[in-house]
Amino acid sequence: MHKALRLVQLCCILIGSLLSSVASATGLQYNMTRGVTPVSHAQYDLHMTVLFIVTAIGVLVFGLLIFSIFRYRKSKGAKAATFHENVQIEVIWTVIPFVILMVLAVPATKTLIAMEDTRKSEMTIAVTGYQWYWHYEYLNEDISFYSNPATTAEEIAGLVPKSGYYQLEVDKPLVVPTNTKIRFAFSANDVIHAWWVPALGVKRDTIPGFINESWAVIEEVGTYRGQCAELCGVRHGYMPIVVEAITPEEFEAWVAEQKGGLEEVIEESEA
């Protein structure tokens, strides 16, 4: 039994390292991102836990199946056994999965409760989905703007080479501070969209007439990209999201600049 467990472990490690070496050799991402928020970390950990568990069960079940397929061939003279029920074993394989599920339910429940707790947020950004672009509004800051996809028609048609962030670029990214609890308030103007940035661990439907909430504390400076994740019409595939996380100090400067820019515009129009 001990040996079998070690073998399972070894197989998992082998497969895991094989995949990661292939991935690093080709620059291919094949697994969920660990992301840059406490929530995305917890999601990733839960994902890896359940992946490990199903892999282990898979190795056992498939191992038994493959063993049987090779061992009990009629062509090799196998005679069929006559057993066709065994209450004891049937109870065991009803109860063990149940116990495994309870083990999984604990971290899943904890993470879910944390994910839904939008209290004590330090700022709120209203995100509105439109066919087919996003609108961001920094509540309390008097800043708002549209964020439009920036991939050109020529790139899509293949007339010019595609840029590195093809289909994941916008004209004006959402700028946010790191290490700040940001509350998002989601809504939509026309049909349902879904605002998804994998690295933030946030995916929420934006529903016309209703407000949805989520939150993120981004722990690392960087640019994070995502896409609309709910079919929303013809250009659903062309609704990228870009989030630029900068330090709180830089963010303050950015806010001032936005407001300054706004005042200048107003002064100009008044003049």
Partner 1 sequence: MGDHHHGPAKGLSRWLLTTNHKDIGTLYLWFAFIMFLVGGAFAMVIRMELFQPGNQLVSPNTFNQLTTMHGLIMVFGAIMPAFTGFANWLIPMMVGAPDMALPRMNNWSFWILPFAFAILLSSWFMDGGAPNFGWTFYAPLSTQGPPSTDFFILSVHMMGISSIMGAINVIVTIFNMRAPGMTLMKMPIFCWSWLITAFLLIAVMPILAAAVTMLLTDRNFGTSFFDAAGGGDPVLFQHIFWFFGHPEVYIMILPAFGIVSEILPTFTRKRLFGRVSMIYAIVAIAGLSFIVWAHHMFTTGMPVIAGLFFMYATMLIAVPTGVKIFNWAATIFRGALTFETPMLFALGFVFLFTIGGFSGLMLALIPADIQYHDTYFVVAHFHYVLVSGALFSIFAGAYYWLPKWTGTMYNETLGKFHFWLSAISFNITFFPMHFMGLAGMPRRIPDYALQFADFNRISSIGSFVFGLSQLLFLYIIIQAIRGKGKKATDEVWDDHPRGLEWTLSSPPAYHTFETPPSEKLVEEHH
Q: What residues make contact with Cu ion under the rule CB under 5 A?
A: 193, 228, 232, 239
* Identity of the residue, 154 or 263, whose beta carbon is nearer to partner 1 in the bound complex: 154
Q: Say how far apart CA 141 and CA 134 lie, in whole Å.
A: 18
| Residues within window 38-57 making contact with partner 1, judged by CB under 8 A | 39-40, 42-43, 46-47, 50-51, 54, 57
Q: Does 104 sit near partner 1 (CB under 8 A)? A: yes
Q: Does 121 sit near partner 1 (CB under 8 A)? A: no
* Identity of the residue, 24 or 86, whose beta carbon is nearer to partner 1 in the bound complex: 86
The residues, ordered by sequence, that sit 6+ positions from 132 with a Cβ below 8 Å of its Cβ are 149, 228, 232, 233, 234, 235, 236, 238, 239
150 binds, among Cu ion, partner 1, none (CB under 5 to 8 A by kind): none
Burial class (CB in 10 A: 0-12, 13-18, 19+), 200: buried
Choose one: 6-14, 88-96, 136-144, 246-254; the region binding partner 1 (CB under 8 A). Answer: 88-96
| Residues within window 246-265 making contact with partner 1, judged by CB under 8 A | none
Query: Do 72 and 123 contact (CB within 8 A), yes or no?
Result: no
Both tokens of 96, joined, read 């063990």
* Identity of the residue, 177 or 204, whose beta carbon is nearer to partner 1 in the bound complex: 204
Shortest Cβ 114–partner 1 spacing (Å) = 9
Q: Does 219 sit near partner 1 (CB under 8 A)? A: no
Query: Do 189 and 207 contact (CB within 8 A), yes or no?
Result: no
- 201's torsion region: left (phi>0), alpha (psi -120 to 50) or beta? left
Q: Does 75 sit near partner 1 (CB under 8 A)? A: yes
Per DSSP, the three-state class of 265 is helix
